[in-house]
Chain A
């Protein structure tokens, strides 16, 4: 079965109803301003494991939700409305 997302409003719905939103973060270890810009524009954390991400329920309640997912298994660890 493909990934299902438990929308706090609509319940468990197939991933095709949602838009993915990455939360990109530039590591503090990068201090040079230009290097931070390049990182923000192009680089990804792309973790193998738990990741916090945002999803927009396009074909549903049309709200953004926050979700924690294990990218190795697609197991959904939790969702909430709250920001991050």
Chain B
């Protein structure tokens, strides 16, 4: 089998094919270096506090696989459970957080609805008055929210797969698909052709171009997403804090930097260019709730290009073309999904049956009017 793309999803799929199904005649083809895409550019937040049952179940599975990933792969990925605090600054977002806590409890994620006083106890750096503009009305606290070092996660899956015989080829780009009739039977690459029983597209923001080679149209638009880190702050910011209505979220890295992200750039683009406007808008919003950051400086800023789906849910599985599968629609939220996404895609490719956990996220949901709308949960991270 051939997996196109050496990001977290491609490598995890290879890892689970090898470890769960004994399938090791697998090549992962990466045109740059592994983790060069969004898997090495994200803000590393892991959580399962989504807003619809199907998503809560799926992400909870992934969160649990992350909790045991170090033991399983014998590699330190710097996984750390920190808890995640969602801050509501409007009546509407307060209702959303209350509903989130309820749907999480019902489908297996541990999330409590919390008062402003509790928010302050969880996160002492928080200014409850929101700079006099956005007073905190309450929120939800997701106990198992966590972070892990992104490139270590990529390497752990790559090493684990390679130790069992999977081939990971860097600097090999897929340039075409081999076809017999309507069926995909292999790939053309910069290093020559490879025939394969199954080709899995795991190419992040570049999925439209790959799928077009198979004649598959996707409901994806590629948008840049930026993030930045500040210089060192005392190691005292212990929680992941987010405000969905203010469209920003932040956590502290092991080095002490404050790591901050926000929403996508509005125009579709494949450009990795970062901009000053993003910094200005995002820090302005973050400062309303966290004025302590006024004294920090911006250290680095960067961009990834994200495969955004119209309902803000992933698209995993069959494409309607035999032999060709995709895992996409990971947008701004797919790092947390790497273990479960890989596990489920491996099961699909190995058995030929669509696993129950990912059946709701099939591409044909759009034609069937069964979109999985969850923008309020996937929004920014």
Contact = CB atoms under 8 A, between A and B. Distances in A.
Interface in B187-237: 206, 208-209, 217-222
Interface stretch (B52-60, B122-130, B263-271): B263-271
Contacts of A10: none
A43 B154 CA distance: 30
A2 B221 contact: no
A77 interface: no
A42 to B, nearest CB: 4
Contact of B271 (A44, A46, A47, A72): A72
Interface range, A side? 20 to 34
Interface in B91-139: none
A40 to B, nearest CB: 11
Given A1-B275, A2-B276, A44 B270 contact: no
Contact of A46 (B220, B266, B274): B220
Contacts of B367: 34-35, 38
B266 A44 contact: no
A56 B183 CA distance: 43
Interface in A33-76: 34-35, 38-39, 41-48, 71-74
Given A44-B218, A44-B221, A71 B268 contact: yes
A71 B270 CA distance: 6
Interface range, B side? 20 to 34
B270 A43 contact: no
Given A1-B276, A2-B276, A2-B277, A44 B267 contact: no
A20 B266 contact: yes
Contact of B275 (A2, A20, A72): A2
Given A46-B220, A46-B221, A74 B266 contact: no
A32 B209 CA distance: 23
A74 B220 contact: no
A46 B222 contact: yes
A43 B265 CA distance: 20
Contacts of B206: 48
A16 B281 CA distance: 11
B278 interface: yes
B14 to A, nearest CB: 25
A13 B267 CA distance: 15
A38 B265 CA distance: 26
A44 B275 contact: no
A50 B57 CA distance: 40
Given A42-B310, A44-B208, A46-B208, A15 B267 contact: yes
7 contacts: A2-B265, A2-B277, A22-B268, A34-B367, A42-B366, A46-B221, A46-B222
Interface of A: 1-3, 14-16, 19-20, 22, 27, 34-35, 38-39, 41-48, 71-74
Question: Which 7 residue pairs of A and B lie closest in terms of their CB atoms, listed nearest first?
Answer: A2-B275, A42-B219, A46-B208, A74-B271, A43-B217, A42-B366, A38-B367
